[in-house]
Amino acid sequence: MGAAHLGGASPDTNSPVDCLCLASAWGSVPRHERSRPPAALGTLRPMRAAAIAESQSRPMNFLRLPNLLATRYGRLTAFFLLYVTEGIPLGFAATAVATQLRRQNVGPAEIGAFVGSFYLPWAFKWAFGPMIDVFASDRLGRRRGWIIGTQIMMAATLLSTVLLTLPQQLGLFTIVLLVHNTFGAMQDVAIDALAVNTLQEQERGLANGLMFGGASIGQLVGGSGVLFLTSVTGFQSTFFFVAGAILLVTVFVVLPMKEAAGPARPSVIGSRWRSASREMRDFAVNSFRSFVGSRGAFVGLLVALLPAGAMGLGLALQSNLAVELGMNDDEVAWLNVWSTVINGGFCVLGGYLSDHLGRRRTLAIYIAAMSLPVLYLMNELNRYGWVMPVEVTAANRPVVPPALLMAFWIATLVYNAFNGLMYGTRAANFMDVTNPAVAATQFTAYMALLNLTISYSAMWQGIAIEAWGYPKTLLVDAIFGVVCIALLPFMSRRAGTQPSWNDSASGARARAVALVLGFACAAWVPYSIWHDALGAAQPIAGTLFTLVFVGSALFLLAGAAVIAAGAPRLTRVAVWLAPLLLAMHARYHLDTIAGWFVSIASAAQVKSAFGTAFDLIALGAALALLLFARQSWDGLNADPKDGADPQAAPLSAAA
């Protein structure tokens, strides 16, 4: 059947409008078609004409690469490869860079601080969500544009470190990689948002597993791949390899993507920055209600702040020991390869077993089992007298017993098996207590706290190794790792087909949180006076106070919205205190700030003035929080509004 033609025009006749349209599409006509007379273009088949029109709306694609988001297998492949780019920088820092630093006699405490700082952006990645949602380009794609930009910046920041000399410029190197990983965390938020909006419901389970696998392979590429390559090209040259691996995904996966247009966004009232602030406020309110609304969710908050099992053999301690025990780069790389493969396989097995044998029961067993290889290695280190860190270039280095090296291999591989069992089960356990109405928000916050736990664990272990030695550090790690088991029985969702996410005790939990945060803020004043007494432990205390100040700021913002009607003056003060608490992070940059005022005051005077201001802010926040602890919190009785996709939780697990 032929198509109907307006105005009685014959199929072989082109109207002036048709000619103009065809002329505008001439550049997209295949070369073999251009040999036809211009009039012959009017006889192109409708499908060809539609393809020409479609090509005008596609992003520029010189290589004619496929849009992977258009098909099921394409989507699975795309998100697998996108998560590879997330794993690359983590493996590069935690394995390759940590190994090279220890080989150059950088101490365990410095390496622990380096690895710990690398995870900090992931602990606060929730803050990027409103910004990515509001500041988006419909032309580039709301999520695609952010992914392109962050991947380019990841490569650029990494390449900027090529000229740095290690370990002499370790401080600057750490700052640049911290910025690099900040873009990595932003990319993670954008990828998860794209997945939520793109994947079909029946694809999400398989996609989640592939994303975990992609992250593991990325860590292999960034860790073992770099160590293998170092023996051929040298360490500095591997930076080009890592940056190139990220950009390959940008060019061949992200650029050809055509992100589907999302629903029409509500008009922005006022500036986009104010809109972002409003979304951040909504985020805080909904998260707050979900965290304190049920016992399981509230206990989950505490569990996320504790290490889930011993962590020493999964952080910088392992890299330090590997170098000290005489392993070369290839041997460390192979250890990392087998550890990652075992960890990934047992992650799937752990999740499967937890579905059939009970989530919390199996998780408790896995967490307890993680301490066994740690205690075994502790015993072997004591047996062979390998207690304190040994300089790798020392002339009188002790000979490494082959049995000790074998024990290290056994402990590491067994640890990764139990760690894999725990990891998949733990993520599912957090999903069990997550409110589907705010799944993406609440689950991402849990994952952010888990990353913070990794950060402070890496820091304290690096300090403890130099102060106590390896065996005592491993003993404390094994004991501290099982503390969270005592909380697991309480991390349950209320039974019922439609469980309530806000129970009658939510107000009491909110008051308890306000009380704890209030005393924690007040503790800043004595810490600021006597912080030198902590010595090398100051970075750990600083990280914990950062958590307190950020948590207090969010609590004040969210609490102000909940109790606004009952305490209007208090809520107004709370809204002003919140940004001041976030500004407390400036304490890490006082030397730079003092330089700005060098013409009017000495550095000591500027630092003293800012120190006094920080004390007043902390005391003001403490007083406000203690007053919050006296409120009734009746506004917590309503459930959070439905605004998040209930299916977002499986996708958030890949974070």
Look at the alpha carbons of 392, 396, 402, 405 in this order and tell me if their dihedral is positive or negative: negative
Cα separation of 11 and 18, whole Å?
12
pLDDT digits (tens, 9 = 90+) for 199-215: 775 665 566 557 777 78
pLDDT for 104:
80
Cα–Cα dist 85/159, whole Å? 15
Reported as a single tens digit per residue, the pLDDT across 71-93 is 888 888 898 899 888 888 888 88
CATH number of 68-260: 1.20.1250.20
3-state DSSP call for residue 165?
coil
Q: pLDDT tens digits for 103-117? A: 787 877 777 777 777
Both tokens of 64, joined, read 């004619």
User: How confident is the model at residue 485, as a pLDDT?
Assistant: 94
Cα–Cα distances in angstroms (integers) from residue 280 to residues 94, 130, 401, 557, in the given order: 31, 6, 56, 9
| Helices 170-198 and 72-91: angle between axes, nearest 10 degrees | 160
Q: Quote the Cα angle for 70-72-75, to 5°.
A: 70
pLDDT at 468 over 90: no
Per-residue confidence band for 491, with pLDDT thresholds at 50, 70 and 90? confident
Compute the residue count for the chain: 655
Give the other-Cβ count within 10 Å of 100's Cβ: 21
Name the least confident of 148-162, 282-296, 374-388.
Answer: 282-296
Give the tens place of pLDDT for each residue, 17-43: 344 333 334 444 444 444 444 444 444
Phi and psi, residue 137, nearest 5°: -110, 120
What is the average per-residue pLDDT within 557-571?
A: 81
Mean pLDDT of 166-170: 80
Rounded distance, CA 286 to CA 290, Å?
6
Nearest to 246 by CA among 161, 158, 172: 158
Nearest in space to 155 (alpha carbons), one of 97, 236, 240, 222: 240
> What is d(CA 139, CA 273) in angstroms, rounded to the nearest whole number?
20
Cα–Cα dist 206/348, whole Å:
12
More confident residue, 135 or 646: 135
Q: How far apart are CA 449 and CA 208, in angstroms?
A: 20
Q: For the ranges 285-289, 469-473, 589-593, which has the lowest average pLDDT?
A: 285-289
User: pLDDT tens across 366-382, in order?
Assistant: 999 999 999 999 999 99
Q: Which of 32-36, 301-305, 326-330, 527-531 has the lowest mean pLDDT?
A: 32-36
Query: How many other CB atoms are found less than 10 A from the CB of residue 478?
Result: 23
Unique residue bearing structure tokens 């930009």? 149
Is the separation of the CB atoms in 289 and 636 below 8 Å? yes
Q: With pLDDT > 70 as the criterion, what percentage of the chain qualifies? A: 76
Give the count of alpha carbons within 13 A of 179, CB side only. Answer: 14
In the chain, what are the domain boundaries? 6-57, 68-260, 279-495, 507-637
Cis check for the bond before 167: say yes or no (omega within 30 of 0).
yes
Token representation of residue 296: 């399981």
421-450 pLDDT tens trace? 887 678 767 767 777 556 556 767 787 788
Question: Angle, nearest 10°, between helix axes 108-123 and 316-324?
Answer: 150
Between 130 and 646, where is the model more confident?
Answer: 130
The predicted structure's pLDDT at residue 323: 83
Cis peptide bond prior to 16, omega within 30° of 0:
no
Architecture of domain 279-495: Up-down Bundle (1.20)
Confidence of residue 507 (pLDDT cuts 50, 70, 90): confident
Asked if the domains at 68-260 and 279-495 fall in one CATH topology, the answer is: yes
Looking from the CA of 54 toward its CB, the CA atoms found within 13 Å total 8
Contact 86/195 with Cβ under 8 angstroms?
A: no
Nearest alpha carbon to residue 560 among 282, 340, 144, 257: 282
Query: Do residues 501 and 290 touch, judged by C-beta distance below 8 A?
Result: yes
Average pLDDT over residues 488-506: 67
Residue 198: closest CA among 143, 249, 150: 143
When comparing pLDDT for 631 and 504, which is higher?
631
Round to whole Å and give the CA distance between 551 and 449: 11
